[in-house]
C-alpha cells in the first residue's frame, strides 16, 4: 500500500484546524505538551496508514525500529483480546458497540509514535483525526468538548463557514478512500491505529529489537 494516491487533504485539514482554532480566539486547550488525545485505541483509515508509512520511511532507522516494536507489541496484545483481528486488520464490518468496547478496554494505550516528552514522533505524518482533534463538536445546536481536557467549550460558536469546510473535507476524504481502495484492491478502509504502523510484508525487514 505504498500509495499512488497523493493529495493535499492532510495539509488542508491541518490548515482548517489552525484557522478554526484562531476563529475560536485560541480558547481551545490544544497546545504543545498536551498528549491526552495521543492515548487510546481508535480507528484510522488506509489513507492515514499510507501517510504513517511514508513518515516511518523518512525516520532514522533506530527511531523507526523503536516505534515499530511498540506497534507490534500492541497488535499482539489487542489480538489476544480480539482474535477476530488475526485474519484481517480491517474493522469496517464491526458494529459501533464492538469498536467502542475494545477502545474502552485499551483506553490508556499510548500511540506507538508518542515520545517520552509527550511529543509525536511522526507529527508531520499524523492521521487526519489527529490533525482535526480539539475543535468542539456541534450537533442539533448543542456544543460539546472534543476530549476530556475540554471541561468547558468556548462561548464563541464556530461559524457556518468553517462547519461547511469541515464537511467538504469529510467528503474529500471519502472520495480519496474510494479511489485508493479501487486502485489497490484493498479489502477494507478502517483499522485500529497500531495496525497502521505495520509495514507490508514486502517492506518488513523482520527486525524485532529487544
Whole-angstrom Cα Rg for the chain: 17
Helix (H, G, I), strand (E, B) or coil at 120: strand
Backbone angles phi, psi at 190, to 5 degrees: -120, 145
Strands of the chain, DSSP E: 43-45, 137-139, 142-144, 190-192
Q: What percent of the chain has pLDDT over 70?
A: 80
- pLDDT at position 64: 97
Which is nearest to 197 in space by CA: 2, 67, 63? Answer: 67
Between 33 and 64, name the one with better pLDDT.
64
Domain range annotation of the chain: 9-29+37-197
- pLDDT at position 136: 76
Handedness of CA 143, 149, 151, 156 (dihedral sign): negative
Alpha carbon distances (Å) from 73 to 55, 163, 193, 197: 20, 38, 13, 11
Chain segment 172-207, per-residue pLDDT in tens: 999 999 999 999 999 899 999 999 999 986 455 545
Amino acid at each position: 500500500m505504498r500509495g499512488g494516491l497523493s493529495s493535499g487533504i492532510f495539509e488542508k485539514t491541518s490548515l482548517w484546524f489552525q484557522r478554526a482554532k484562531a476563529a475560536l480566539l485560541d480558547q481551545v486547550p490544544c497546545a504543545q505538551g498536551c498528549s491526552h488525545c495521543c492515548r487510546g485505541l481508535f480507528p484510522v483509515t488506509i489513507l492515514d496508514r499510507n501517510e504513517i508509512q511514508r513518515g516511518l520511511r523518512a525516520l532514522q532507522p533506530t527511531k523507526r525500529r523503536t516505534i515499530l516494536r511498540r506497534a507490534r507489541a500492541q497488535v499482539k496484545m489487542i489480538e489476544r483480546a480480539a482474535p477476530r483481528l488475526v485474519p484481517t486488520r480491517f474493522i469496517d464490518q464491526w458494529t459501533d458497540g464492538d469498536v467502542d468496547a475494545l477502545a474502552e478496554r485499551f483506553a490508556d494505550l499510548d500511540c506507538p509514535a508518542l515520545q517520552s516528552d509527550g511529543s509525536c514522533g511522526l507529527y508531520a505524518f499524523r492521521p487526519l483525526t489527529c490533525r482535526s482533534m480539539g475543535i468542539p463538536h456541534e450537533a442539533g445546536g448543542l456544543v460539546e468538548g472534543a476530549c476530556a481536557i475540554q471541561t468547558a467549550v468556548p462561548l464563541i460558536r464556530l461559524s457556518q463557514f468553517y462547519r461547511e469546510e469541515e464537511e467538504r473535507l469529510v467528503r474529500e476524504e471519502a472520495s480519496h478512500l474510494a479511489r485508493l481502495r479501487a486502485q489497490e484492491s484493498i479489502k477494507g478502509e478502517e483499522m485500529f491505529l497500531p495496525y497502521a504502523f505495520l509495514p507490508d510484508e514486502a517492506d518488513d525487514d523482520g527486525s524485532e529489537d529487544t
